[in-house]
């Protein structure tokens, strides 16, 4: 968040580790909170709100993946599948057993954590690219299981319709009400992650990321912490998947394919590996990219000809090209992603206008 | 029994086609330690180029094939210069994600240039399967198997006997040591990607003839992972053996399990095989074991 440290002197370690490191930070956080709670829902129409909702869901998933990949250094290409576990768990609990949505949310997260931990077991022996490939296998195996076990998928086209979520007697039936549901979950995810990464557990994660053998030598129980990272990350994924399911009111495996896993990886790379705020930036960026692209292409196409189906083909291909191109671009030119750019901006304004 | 045997033989033949794709993957990994998630897309791109040469520009096969191979080789060079060179020395995830990004770009670029419709790669091969010992065998599979064997022998000779091949192995072993021995590491990298482009183009022609060329051809690349993990990531022989095993196991199990679960076994069994391999012996059959040092 934007704040200036002038005249702020820390006299204890606790102050140095605090979430709000300067008095002004509280004001900034309050401003963001007001923006999210009041300005966004009241100032935008249903279309914009639906975008905000998709961003919110992506934020939860991206923070989860960043805890695993950015902070612990374990690459996962199965994030989409772990979201599917959460999504289908929530759908089955709500649609078949009439559970309220918060039960589905937590149960979805919990089951995804169990499954994720199971697929994290190979991480004891293998790492880096081998682990990436193992999680890729998780993606395909889970996808297959959902599609071919009728009890899970509910038969035809692996689709389960979910009743509208309700909380305390209020039916969450509009974009605006769902926005608040998603906002609360996303905010909790953010705060939990911020606190996690400055705790003992978070430091253990980073030690494993930076050099796992060295971490083991200084007494970090690698296996336990790796599994914990998988569990937390998959819990986030499961919650995101459940949230998505309640938001769409339908559970469908096509929302959770390998493309989705790759998109989440792109989010944390473009946003910034090992940064919670970066995950938010990345989630916003990748979620809005296709919409902005469509807007641009429609505008450019409209100059010459009316929109046709040929335009949609071009758009679909262009989306892939721009997406892949941006990932490569960021990897080569700005490996720390949008978070680093944000830091540059902040550093500039830190002593502005007296830059000496 | 006869049913089993037929499944087995056809699986083995398809396995040789997997091996062909896996070869290119292994080659890149062996020399440059880059894990290439865009292997399927490279094959697809090769297939698209070959199909365009043969059907759109109506070149005869004897001309179309060299042109397609040449284009793919230069494409390999370009990729190395433009994308992978700047990423040398970066963490694994950066390189993996760069190739994932490349995969996405190629999947968008190919249909944009040549159209999304499925294209043929006509090869002068009889379509009708011939019968050998009572088993139906398609000529294409035999060509693919022959191509794999030729490449295997060729690479075997290349890596063991030629100066460049030995230099490549040296680079794979230790880049710094290779550099201090006077090996031009960057030109070895470029050469590797060029060869990978060549093998991918051959794979694209054969798979394109088998399945038809469209963006779904890239899915072949997903089978590469079980193959190379099983055989060992940096072993050419392992790629062939892994290909054979994956091809045989998936075909046989699909033949027996599919009727009960309604299909899809082929997309699933290779990965189970792979997970088991990763848990028991991560380096596969012939791969080098990784030893950690602080």
Cβ-based neighbours of B166, under 8 Å, separated by 6 or more? B159, B160
Sorted by where each begins, the domain ranges of chain A are 44-257
Question: Is there a contact between A324 and B103 if contact means CB atoms under 8 Å apart?
Answer: yes
Question: Is there a contact between A140 and B271 if contact means CB atoms under 8 Å apart?
Answer: yes
Q: CB of B48 within 8 Å of any CB in chain A?
A: no
Nearest to A259 by CA among A143, A109, A106: A143
Residues from chain B that touch A262, judged by Cβ atoms under 8 A, are 100, 104
Q: Is A95 within 8 Å of A160 (Cβ atoms)?
A: yes
Q: Which phi and psi angles does A160 have, rounded to 5°?
A: -120, 130
Question: Is there a contact between B278 and A134 if contact means CB atoms under 8 Å apart?
Answer: yes
Residues of chain B whose pLDDT is less than 50?
A: none
Q: Which residues pair with A251 in a beta bridge?
A: A160
Question: Is there a contact between A331 and B90 if contact means CB atoms under 8 Å apart?
Answer: yes
Residues of chain A whose pLDDT is less than 70?
A: 1-7, 21, 155-156, 307, 355-356
> Domain B2-157+185-280 belongs to what architecture?
Orthogonal Bundle (1.10)
- Reported ipTM: the value is 0.85
Question: Is there a contact between B90 and A335 if contact means CB atoms under 8 Å apart?
Answer: yes
Total-model pTM: 0.89
Q: Is A280 within 8 Å of A190 (Cβ atoms)?
A: yes
Give me the total of CB pairs closer than 8 Å, taking one residue from chain A and one from chain B.
131
Residues from chain B that touch A319, judged by Cβ atoms under 8 A, are 108
Question: Is there a contact between A325 and B101 if contact means CB atoms under 8 Å apart?
Answer: yes
Q: Is A273 within 8 Å of A96 (Cβ atoms)?
A: no
As a whole number of angstroms, the distance between CA B239 and CA B224 comes to: 9
How many CA atoms does the CB half-sphere of A167 hold within 13 Å?
Answer: 14
Question: Is there a contact between B278 and A132 if contact means CB atoms under 8 Å apart?
Answer: no
Residues from chain A that touch B101, judged by Cβ atoms under 8 A, are 266, 323-328, 331
Question: Is there a contact between A327 and B97 if contact means CB atoms under 8 Å apart?
Answer: yes
Q: CB of B276 within 8 Å of any CB in chain A?
A: no
Question: Is there a contact between A331 and B225 if contact means CB atoms under 8 Å apart?
Answer: no
Q: Which two tokens stand for residue B122?
A: 């006509």
Q: Is A242 within 8 Å of A104 (Cβ atoms)?
A: yes
Nearest CA in chain B to A76: B93
CA dihedral (B51, B52, B57, B58) in degrees, to 10, reads 10
Of B83, B96, B111, the CB nearest to A75: B96
Q: What is the distance in angstroms between the Cα of B276 and the nearest Cα belonging to chain A?
A: 10
Nearest CA in chain A to B225: A133
Question: Is there a contact between A326 and B112 if contact means CB atoms under 8 Å apart?
Answer: no
As a whole number of angstroms, the distance between CA B239 and CA B259 comes to: 30
Q: What is the distance in angstroms between the Cα of A140 and the nearest Cα belonging to chain B?
A: 6
Residues from chain B that touch A66, judged by Cβ atoms under 8 A, are none
Question: Is there a contact between A323 and B98 if contact means CB atoms under 8 Å apart?
Answer: no
Q: What is the pLDDT of residue B294?
A: 56
Q: Which two tokens stand for residue B200?
A: 């991918």
Strands A170-171 and A159-161, by their bridges, are unpaired
Question: Is there a contact between A75 and B275 if contact means CB atoms under 8 Å apart?
Answer: no
Q: CB of B285 within 8 Å of any CB in chain A?
A: no
As a whole number of angstroms, the distance between CA B82 and CA B193 comes to: 12
Mutate to test the interface with B, among A148, A268, A328, A333 (most CBs of B within 10 A): A328
Question: Is there a contact between B272 and A126 if contact means CB atoms under 8 Å apart?
Answer: no
Residues from chain A that touch B106, judged by Cβ atoms under 8 A, are 324
As a whole number of angstroms, the distance between CA A179 and CA A158 comes to: 27
Q: CB of B179 within 8 Å of any CB in chain A?
A: no
Question: Is there a contact between A332 and B111 if contact means CB atoms under 8 Å apart?
Answer: no
In this structure, the number of other CB atoms found within 10 A of the CB of residue B119 comes to 21
Question: Is there a contact between B279 and A332 if contact means CB atoms under 8 Å apart?
Answer: no
Q: Reduced to 3 DSSP states, what percent helix, strand and coil does chain A have, rounded to the nearest 5? A: 75, 5, 20
Q: CB of B18 within 8 Å of any CB in chain A?
A: no
Q: What is the pLDDT of residue A117?
A: 92
Nearest CA in chain B to A214: B294
Q: What is the pLDDT of residue A3?
A: 57
Q: Which two tokens stand for residue B185?
A: 């590491």
Residues from chain B that touch A147, judged by Cβ atoms under 8 A, are 264
Q: What is the pLDDT of residue A1?
A: 46
Q: What is the pLDDT of residue A34?
A: 87
Of A144, A265, A320, the CB nearest to B105: A320
Q: What is the distance in angstroms between the Cα of B23 and the nearest Cα belonging to chain A?
A: 17
Q: Which two tokens stand for residue B123?
A: 């090869």
Q: CB of B86 within 8 Å of any CB in chain A?
A: yes
Strands A170-171 and A166-167, by their bridges, are antiparallel
3-state secondary structure of B31: helix
Q: Which long-range contacts (CB under 8 A, 24 or more apart) does A177-183 make?
A: A178/A53, A178/A246, A178/A247, A179/A40, A179/A41, A179/A49, A179/A52, A179/A53, A179/A56, A180/A41, A181/A101, A181/A243, A181/A246, A182/A53, A182/A56, A182/A57, A182/A243, A182/A247, A183/A36, A183/A37, A183/A56
Q: What is the distance in angstroms between the Cα of B81 and the nearest Cα belonging to chain A?
A: 12
Q: Is A4 within 8 Å of A350 (Cβ atoms)?
A: yes
Sorted by where each begins, the domain ranges of chain B are 2-157+185-280
């Amino acid at each position: 968040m934007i704040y200036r440290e002038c005249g702020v002197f820390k006299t204890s370690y606790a102050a140095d580790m605090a979430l709000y490191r300067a008095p002004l930070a509280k004001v900034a956080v309050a401003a963001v909170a007001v923006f999210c709670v009041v300005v966004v829902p009241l100032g935008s129409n249903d279309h914009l709100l639906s975008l905000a909702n998709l961003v919110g869901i992506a934020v939860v998933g991206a923070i989860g993946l960043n805890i695993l990949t950015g902070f612990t250094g374990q690459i996962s290409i199965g994030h989409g599948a772990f979201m599917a576990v959460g999504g289908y768990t929530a759908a089955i609990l709500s649609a078949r057993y009439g559970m309220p949505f918060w039960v589905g949310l937590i149960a979805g997260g919990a089951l995804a954590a169990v499954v994720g931990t199971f697929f994290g077991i190979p991480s004891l022996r293998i790492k880096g690219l081998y682990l990436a490939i193992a999680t890729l296998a998780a993606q395909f195996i889970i996808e297959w299981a959902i599609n071919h076990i009728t009890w899970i998928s509910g038969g035809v086209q692996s689709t389960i319709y979910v009743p509208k979520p309700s909380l305390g007697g209020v039916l969450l039936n509009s974009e605006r009400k769902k926005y608040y549901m998603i906002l609360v979950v996303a905010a909790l995810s953010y705060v939990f992650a911020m606190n996690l990464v400055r705790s003992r557990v978070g430091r253990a994660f980073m030690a494993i990321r930076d050099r796992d053998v060295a971490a083991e030598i200084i007494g970090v129980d690698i296996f336990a912490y790796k599994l914990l990272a998988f569990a937390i990350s998959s819990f986030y994924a499961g919650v995101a998947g459940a949230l998505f399911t309640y938001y769409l009111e339908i559970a469908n495996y096509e929302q959770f394919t390998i493309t989705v896993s790759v998109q989440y990886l792109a989010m944390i790379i473009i946003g910034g590996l090992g940064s919670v705020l970066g995950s938010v930036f990345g989630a916003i960026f990748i979620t809005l990219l296709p919409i902005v692209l469509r807007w641009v292409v429609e505008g450019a196409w409209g100059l010459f000809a009316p929109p046709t189906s040929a335009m949609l083909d071009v758009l679909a291909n262009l989306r892939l090209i721009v997406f892949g191109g941006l990932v490569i671009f960021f990897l080569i030119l700005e490996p720390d992603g949008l978070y680093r750019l944000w830091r540059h901006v902040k550093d500039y304004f830190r002593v502005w206008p007296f830059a000496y | 029994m006869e049913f089993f045997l037929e499944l087995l033989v056809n699986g083995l033949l398809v396995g040789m086609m997997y091996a062909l794709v896996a070869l290119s993957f292994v080659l890149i990994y062996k020399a440059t330690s880059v894990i290439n998630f865009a292997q399927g897309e490279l094959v697809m791109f090769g297939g698209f180029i070959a199909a365009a040469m043969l059907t759109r520009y109506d070149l005869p096969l004897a001309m179309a094939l060299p042109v397609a191979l040449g284009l793919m080789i230069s494409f390999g060079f370009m990729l190395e210069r433009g994308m992978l060179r700047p990423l040398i020395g970066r963490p694994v995830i950066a390189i993996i994600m760069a190739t994932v990004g490349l995969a996405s770009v190629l999947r968008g670029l190919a249909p944009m240039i040549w159209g999304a419709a499925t294209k043929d790669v006509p090869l002068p091969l009889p379509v009708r399967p011939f019968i050998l010992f009572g088993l139906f065998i398609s000529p294409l599979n035999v060509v693919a198997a022959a191509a794999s064997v030729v490449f295997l022998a060729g690479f075997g000779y290349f890596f063991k006997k030629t100066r460049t091949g030995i230099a490549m192995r040296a680079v794979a072993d230790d880049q710094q040591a290779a550099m201090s021995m006077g090996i031009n590491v960057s030109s070895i990298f470029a050469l590797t990607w060029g060869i990978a482009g060549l093998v991918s183009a051959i794979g694209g022609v054969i798979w394109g003839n088998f399945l038809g060329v469209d963006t779904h051809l890239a899915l072949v690349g997903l089978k590469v992972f079980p193959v190379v993990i099983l055989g060992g990531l940096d072993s050419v022989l392992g790629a062939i053996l892994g290909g054979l095993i994956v091809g045989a196991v998936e075909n046989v199990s699909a033949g027996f399990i599919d009727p009960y679960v309604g299909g899809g076994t082929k997309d699933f069994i290779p990965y189970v095989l792979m997970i088991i391999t990763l848990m028991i012996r991560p380096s596969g059959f012939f791969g080098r074991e990784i030893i950690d040092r602080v």
